[in-house]
């Protein structure tokens, strides 16, 4: 409690020790309020000074944090700007030297920014491959875009993308060749072309479907041709063509060599073909056209792959007859003194039966006879 006159603290008896003023209870309550107010004011003033200093510290700290954040953002934006500028120059294929400068001076030695750029380049080049794959970009443009990356960033590996472009180029050509060959009825060629379509080609699944389609269609045509050839036993040319067609199909690798359906059809054709050949050979023999008969069996064996017991037996009998007739002719001509014609006939027979002992012996006898005749003269 304070004295209203001198503002000194009143004692417990209500009397000011400084000026002697007496303070009653009412005044005492008022002074208590005044003292309390003064004390509050002094405390608040003291606290105010303390709070003011703290507030100032907080404000200064906040400003510093804000400035630091702004600087960080500016730096980040600066790097991002160089990454974007570099990528944009590559995409447009313009100012590549400037882009190379950005990379070398601003990005290359910054691991974070370099990784960010490389990730964007991966996505960009994947997009180039995809666009070329979908025919939204030609081969030359795709190669130029990949080359632009190599020019600007020498340590970025573009080998994979160049390889993909070349594979897709070959794949697209094979796909087109497949359809061209199919339209011409060249099924084996079409199947092989479709088989060269790459797995990364957007047409890969369709190419696989085309292979199945071509194989089915080709086998159907083979069966139709074989049935037509078997209908008429005298049609040797059709049988020849049908046998060759099945043989080519089985040896092409397109079908399994043990394909039961094709092999059964082949055996039926060979049997029918052999019967026709033997029938024709019999006619030739009747007409004494043994050389013609021999040529038929030779061609027949070539067509059926050189392994047919019936044709081989037929050919062996023809050769025996050719040799027999040559020896008979030569002996007759020798008697007439016509050694030249006899020699020619024996040499011709030797072509059908190389190393034939009878012919060789006959030729040696002729040489001996001629030598003896020359000695007598």
* pLDDT over 90, % of the chain: 48
- Count Cα atoms within 13 angstroms, Cβ side, for 67: 6
Rounded to whole angstroms, the Cα distance separating 274 from 310 reads 7
pLDDT for 31 beyond 70: no
Using a cut of 0.75, tell me whether the model's pTM lies above it. no
pLDDT digits (tens, 9 = 90+) for 194-205: 999 999 999 999
Provide the pLDDT for residue 13.
Answer: 58
Sequence length of the chain is 377
Q: How far, CA to CA in Å, does 295 sit from each of 44, 191, 288, 317?
A: 132, 36, 14, 13
Provide the pLDDT for residue 215.
Answer: 96
pLDDT digits (tens, 9 = 90+) for 94-121: 889 999 999 999 999 999 999 999 999 9
pLDDT for 281 beyond 90: no
pLDDT for 158 beyond 50: yes
pLDDT digits (tens, 9 = 90+) for 36-58: 444 554 554 455 444 444 444 44
- Which residue reads 């703290």 in tokens? 54
Q: Structural domain boundaries of the chain?
A: 321-377
- Count Cα atoms within 13 angstroms, Cβ side, for 161: 25
Provide the pLDDT for residue 139.
Answer: 95
Provide the pLDDT for residue 1.
Answer: 55
Rounded to whole angstroms, the Cα distance separating 344 from 340 reads 6
Highest mean pLDDT among 19-28, 129-138, 282-291: 129-138
| Average predicted confidence (pLDDT) for the chain | 82
CA angle 162, 164, 170 (to 5 degrees): 105
For the record, the structure tokens of 357 come out as 């002992």
DSSP secondary structure letters along 103-161: IIIIITT-HHHHHHHHHHHHHHHHHHHHHHHTTSS-HHHHHHHHHHHHHH-TTS--HHH
For the record, the structure tokens of 126 come out as 């994947």
């Amino acid at each position: 409690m304070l004295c209203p006159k001198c503002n000194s603290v009143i004692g417990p008896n209500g009397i000011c020790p400084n000026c002697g003023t007496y303070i009653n209870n009412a005044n005492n309550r008022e002074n208590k309020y005044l003292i309390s107010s003064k004390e509050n004011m002094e405390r608040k003033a003291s606290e105010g000074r303390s709070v003011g200093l703290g507030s100032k510290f907080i404000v200064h700290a906040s400003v510093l944090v804000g400035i630091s954040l702004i600087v960080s953002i500016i730096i980040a934006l600066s790097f991002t700007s160089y990454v974007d500028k570099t990528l944009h120059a590559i995409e447009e294929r313009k100012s590549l030297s400037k882009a190379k400068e950005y990379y070398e001076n601003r990005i290359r030695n910054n691991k974070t920014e370099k990784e960010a750029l490389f990730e964007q380049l991966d996505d960009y080049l994947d997009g180039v491959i995809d666009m070329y794959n979908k025919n939204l970009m030609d081969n030359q443009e795709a190669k130029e875009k990949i080359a632009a990356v190599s020019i600007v960033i020498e340590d970025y590996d573009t080998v994979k993308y160049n390889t993909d472009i070349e594979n897709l180029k070959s794949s697209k050509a094979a796909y087109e060749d497949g359809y061209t060959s199919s339209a011409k009825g060249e099924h084996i060629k079409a199947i092989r072309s479709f088989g060269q379509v790459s797995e990364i080609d957007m047409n890969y699944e369709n190419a696989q479907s085309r292979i199945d389609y071509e194989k089915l269609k080709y086998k159907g045509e083979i069966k139709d041709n074989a049935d037509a050839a078997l209908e008429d036993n005298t049609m040797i040319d059709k049988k020849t063509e049908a046998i060759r067609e099945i043989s080519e199909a089985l040896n092409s690798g397109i079908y399994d060599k043990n394909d039961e359906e094709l092999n059964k059809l082949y055996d039926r054709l060979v049997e029918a073909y052999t019967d026709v050949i033997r029938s024709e050979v019999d006619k030739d023999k009747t007409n004494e056209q043994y050389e013609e008969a021999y040529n038929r069996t030779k061609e027949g064996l070539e067509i059926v792959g050189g392994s047919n017991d019936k044709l081989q037996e037929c050919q062996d009998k023809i050769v025996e007859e050719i040799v027999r007739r040559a020896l008979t002719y030569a002996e007759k001509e020798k008697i007439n003194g016509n050694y030249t014609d006899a020699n020619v006939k024996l040499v011709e027979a030797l072509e059908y039966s190389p190393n034939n002992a009878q012919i060789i012996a006959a030729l040696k006898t002729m040489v001996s006879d001629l030598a003896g005749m020359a000695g007598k003269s």
